[in-house]
Structure 1
Amino acid sequence: MAEQHDSIRAGAAGTAPVPLSVLDLATVGSGRTATDALRTSVELARGAERLGYHRFWVAEHHSMPGVASSSPAVILAHLAAHTERIRLGSGGVMLPNHAPLVIAEQFGTLEALAPGRIDLGLGRAPGTDGATAAALRRTDRLNEGAEDFPQQLTELTRFLDDDFPDGHPYRRIHAVPGPVQGTVAGGVQAPARPPVWLLGSSGFSARLAGVLGLPFAFAHHFSAAHTIPALDLYRESFRPSATLDEPYALIGVSALAAEDEKEARRQVLTGALSMVRLRTGRPGLIPSPEEAEAHEFSALEQEFAESWLRNVVHGTADAVRDGLDGLVKRTGADELMITGNAHGAQARLRSYELIAEAYGLPGAQD
């Protein structure tokens, strides 16, 4: 059978049923700047590494005032310079927004900067609205990008492996840094290249990841109703590959722990109000807890906020641990990637500390 990459399949630490990782959006709170948000991302990545989390990923979003992660590769290079062991990756890069060669070059560069620590997670959604996607891609044929995703993925993989067949128009084009550097006179072959993950919130990427034998990450944090059907489809479609012998499914989950239930509710309400504003065409910065508490929710806004909060695991550390354990049992996930969105850096870092302590992660007792 195919060899499993240690970079994908990792053993659980402490008492956690599966490895725990972190997803960061570099959120910008009201009264804060993008500089503040990116400094917080560094603080969170270093904290996650110290506590014993397995990965730290950042996600591509555009034209959203409250999200500063429009350029994952740039952020990951910065995080690589401030960490030593934790795996870093994209959760994800939206492939239709970019030429495959550009992504191969960016992530080849990241792999050269942080050998053996880089993951390349790919999505097929634009990570923004249609008008912004058209500006990114310089075309209004947006469906074409999604439909061409398998072809773009093949092209990207061939650039990463430098293995276009003879006669292909790209046969003499090489992504550098990359394998070609090991084939020229005096060259030394790099030991590995970033593993590719497929990301999704529906069945399309689940099936494709299964057919290709790739690891799959599902966005449970904003598509909870589709989690189990998508994971079932992934597992049913899975074919062993050079990457994996067996399916490996990661799910992203919103979770925030605080010293008491009231404080946790106070912190997650900021995310609920932010989502209300986004869904009603008024995206902005992440409101403070005080702003969220003072907001007068309409009946429709309240209904939406409560629906959204039902998919956010929050409360004391023990309550969050119980909620995450239950999610693993229901879904059979092989790894959990926690996103703890809140207004302030300290609330988010404290949440990751409390969760790490609840599970006995190796760095939580230091």
Structure 2
Amino acid sequence: MLDNAHTAVGQSASEAFEEVISLARLADRRGFRRFWMSEHHAMPGASTSSPQLMVARLISETERIRLGAGGVMLPNHAPLLIAEQFGMLNALAPGRIDLGVGRAPGTDPATAAALRRHHEANDQFPQQVLELLGFLGDDFPDGHGYRDVHAVPGPWQADQNRVPRPETSPELWILGSSQYSAVLAGQLGRPYAFALQFGDADVDSAMRLYREHFRPSHVLSEPYSLISVPVVADNDPVEARRQAATGAMAMLRMFQRKGYSLLPPDEVKAYPATLQERQILDTYTELFRNGTAADVASALDQLHARTKVDEVMLVVMGHSRRSQYQTVELLANHYGLPSH
């Protein structure tokens, strides 16, 4: 499950975070495998500017589910800083921490500049990933400028203190919605997560390229992939579509550089859309798989069969958190997940 900490109109960030915590508890109780948070900046409708801070809170709120960032936008940060932050999280919850990294800014150009993100940031993403891996594994080669720079907590500290190395480190994923990220993930021999919530992305070509370029690594002997899919399930398919439309309106407003906060379904329905706006709204409403649990599950099953991914991640959508909780419960029941 992926949560963007969507904040509806009239809702505070504190309220949104409490609802994220409740959703993570539900996902943990119902047997979901992962719960990820995204990184966004200066977007009132998405309150998680630092997913690692939310992960730190969720460690004590959950028992078994893997927690992580989906993802950290690496060009916004120094790789050493991310290695140390996720090293701390892994020390707090060994074997439960995921680190998904992407190259997008997670915001608009002006805010990206305020983050000190320069125009060549995307081009340097592969080098940043290699640096991050070097710090996480403490395995820079002799002669490397960072050979004697160690992320703490990390493997180096364990050796110095003569204590056993942790059995696991944060599980690093390459995130993306393009062929570029697919090739990079394959070349590095890392698991690959494809974001299908960003419009008409070519997931089939991306998965093919990932598998074609895959090189076995010490963490993976064969390709391992995931797709994230926005969903809304309800016993009433009309209500499911109404809730999905609120997310579609948020995307339209983001394209128009307007406030991104989720509007109520009735307000979305009453919006006097132009022909072009209506096309965008209808496209994204369909992209956010919606309907009864059986309808949504059928769409997910078809997508899984087509892409042959190892995991499907639900991006919970809808103006109402009640609707999001219901989506989780209905799909968990459909797939026979634990109810305790």
For normalisation by structure 1, the TM-score amounts to: 0.90
1:127-180 per-position Cα deviation (integer Å, ceiling 9, x unaligned):
1111111111x25x32x1111111111111110111122222222211111111
1:298-356 per-position Cα deviation (integer Å, ceiling 9, x unaligned):
22111111111221110001111111111111211211011121112111011110011
Letter in 1 for 2:94: P
Please show how residues 231-250 of structure 1 align to structure 2 within 5 Å. Answer: 231-250=207-226
1:162-219 per-position Cα deviation (integer Å, ceiling 9, x unaligned):
1122222222211111111211144442222111100011111100111111100001
Distance in 1 (CA, whole Å) between partners of 2:302 and 2:199 is 17
2:189: which partner in 1? 213
2:203: which partner in 1? 227
1:135: which partner in 2? 114
Task: Give the conservation status (yes or no) of the 8 Å contact 1:181–1:188.
Answer: no
Task: Give the conservation status (yes or no) of the 8 Å contact 2:178–2:201.
Answer: no
Please show how residues 193-208 of structure 1 align to structure 2 within 5 Å. Answer: 193-208=169-184
**Residue number among 91, 103, 112 corresponding to 2:82 in the alignment:** 103
2:54 aligned with 1:75, yes or no? yes
Please show how residues 53-132 of structure 1 align to structure 2 within 5 Å. Answer: 53-132=32-111
1:178: which partner in 2? 154
1:62-81 per-position Cα deviation (integer Å, ceiling 9, x unaligned):
11110001101101101111
2:126 aligned with 1:150, yes or no? yes
Q: Structure 2 unaligned runs (5+)?
A: none
CA shift for structure 1 position 283: 2.7
Letter in 2 for 1:252: S
CA shift for structure 1 position 222: 1.3
Distance in 2 (CA, whole Å) between partners of 1:282 and 1:87 is 34
CA shift for structure 1 position 116: 0.6
1:251: which partner in 2? 227
Task: Classify the secondary structure of the residue corresponding to 1:352.
Answer: helix
1:277: which partner in 2? 253
Task: Give the conservation status (yes or no) of the 8 Å contact 1:29–1:287.
Answer: yes
2:325: which partner in 1? 349
Task: Give the conservation status (yes or no) of the 8 Å contact 2:140–2:146.
Answer: yes
Distance in 2 (CA, whole Å) between partners of 1:359 and 1:43 is 21
Please show how residues 326-337 of structure 1 align to structure 2 within 5 Å. Answer: 326-337=302-313
Task: Give the conservation status (yes or no) of the 8 Å contact 1:254–1:340.
Answer: yes
Distance in 2 (CA, whole Å) between partners of 1:83 and 1:277 is 34
- Alignment size in residue pairs: 340
Distance in 2 (CA, whole Å) between partners of 1:132 and 1:212 is 30
Letter in 2 for 1:40: E
Task: Give the conservation status (yes or no) of the 8 Å contact 1:201–1:223.
Answer: no
**Residue number among 235, 242, 250 corresponding to 1:266 in the alignment:** 242
1:299: which partner in 2? 275
Quickly say closer, same or farther: Cα 1:184–1:260, change in 2 above 3 A: same
Task: Give the conservation status (yes or no) of the 8 Å contact 2:71–2:99.
Answer: yes
2:22: which partner in 1? 43
Task: Give the conservation status (yes or no) of the 8 Å contact 2:138–2:150.
Answer: yes
RMSD: 1.2
Distance in 2 (CA, whole Å) between partners of 1:274 and 1:185 is 50
1:267-288 per-position Cα deviation (integer Å, ceiling 9, x unaligned):
1111111111111111331111
Task: Give the conservation status (yes or no) of the 8 Å contact 2:177–2:201.
Answer: no
Task: Give the conservation status (yes or no) of the 8 Å contact 2:317–2:324.
Answer: yes
Task: Classify the secondary structure of the residue corresponding to 2:312.
Answer: strand
Of 281-290 and 111-120, the range deviating more from structure 2: 281-290
Report 1 or 2 for greater relative contact order, CA contacts < 8 Å, sequence distance ≥ 6: 1
Q: Structure 1 unaligned runs (5+)?
A: 1-21
Task: Give the conservation status (yes or no) of the 8 Å contact 1:261–1:314.
Answer: yes
Of 159-168 and 70-79, the range deviating more from structure 2: 159-168
Letter in 2 for 1:116: G
1:205-236 per-position Cα deviation (integer Å, ceiling 9, x unaligned):
10011111110000111144311111111011
1:216-275 per-position Cα deviation (integer Å, ceiling 9, x unaligned):
000111144311111111011111111111111100101110111111011111111111
Distance in 1 (CA, whole Å) between partners of 2:201 and 2:91 is 39
For normalisation by structure 2, the TM-score amounts to: 0.97
Structure 1 consecutive aligned stretches of length 4 or more whose deviation exceeds 6 Å = none
